[in-house]
Amino acid sequence: MATTSHVHTKTTLPSPRKIRSFVRRAGRITRAQHQALETNWHRFGIDAENGPLDFDKIFARHAQRYLEIGFGMGDGLLEMAQTNPHHDYLGIEVHEPGLGRLVHGLAKRNITNVRVIRGDATEVLATAITPHSLNGVFLYFPDSWPKKRHHKRRIVQPDFVARVCTRLVPSGRFELATDWEEYAIYMLQVLEAEPQLRNLAGPGCFAPRPPHRPLTKFERRGEKLGHPIRDLVFARV
C-alpha cells in the first residue's frame, strides 16, 4: 500500500516595504552636471555607507557644521557656504541633476567648505551622522505630500524629529520652511510635541524668515501662487 508523505516548507513572508519621503524622479541630467559628478565627486562627495563620519578629518579643520536635507539644485547651499566660509556645510540629496549641479558649482567657484551626500536623509542621520555633531539642520520646502493617504510619506514625523535632536549640539537649531499651510501647522505640532526642542518664536508661533535662509525657486513659486511662507525655528534644549 502506497503511503503519502507531506513535506512542510517554511513560508518566508516579505519584509514590510519601507516608506520613503521622496520619489526618485528620472530628471534629465545635463552634460555639465554628469561631467561634474564624474570628475569632481572625489573632491566634494561623501560615501555615507561606511559608518559614522569624522567631520574634522573630512574638512581638515574644526568648525561649526550645518546640514541641509534635500537641497534641490543646491543654489541655497552654495549661497550660504560662500557667505559663511568659516562654517562647514553638508547637503543630502537623492536626485542626480541636483547633485551634479551643486558639485559643478562648488568646483567652478572653488568652494571648499561644502560636502555632498547622495542618499536617504533618514538613513544617513541614523548611520553616518554622529550625535552632537551639528550646529544646525535645515529642511527647506520638503515635499508636502498634500493628499491625506500620502501623509505617512512626509519626512517630518516624530521619530525623524527625535533623531535630528540627537544629532544637534545643545542650543543647535532645527529650521524648516514650507509654503503649504496645512503642512506648516502639522510640522509645528510635531516639533512642539518633541521635549528636546524649544520654539524660538514662542509656543504656537511661526518665525520670521531667518536672514541666512536664501530665497529659493520653490519659495518664489509659492508666493506667485499666493501661498503664505511659513518658517519654523527651533533649538535643542
Tell me, yes or no, if 88 is annotated catalytic: no
How does DSSP classify residue 90? Answer: E
Amino acid in the structure at residue 194: E
Nearest by Cα to 210 from 230, 237, 188: 230
User: How far apart are the C-alpha atoms of 161 and 229, rounded to whole Å?
Assistant: 21
- Which residue in 54, 143, 159, 179 is the catalytic one? 143
Long-range Cβ contacts of 142-149 (<8 Å, 24+ apart): 142/21, 142/69, 142/70, 142/176, 142/178, 143/21, 143/22, 144/178, 144/180, 144/182, 144/183, 145/21, 145/183, 146/180, 146/182, 146/183
- Kindly list the catalytic residues: 143
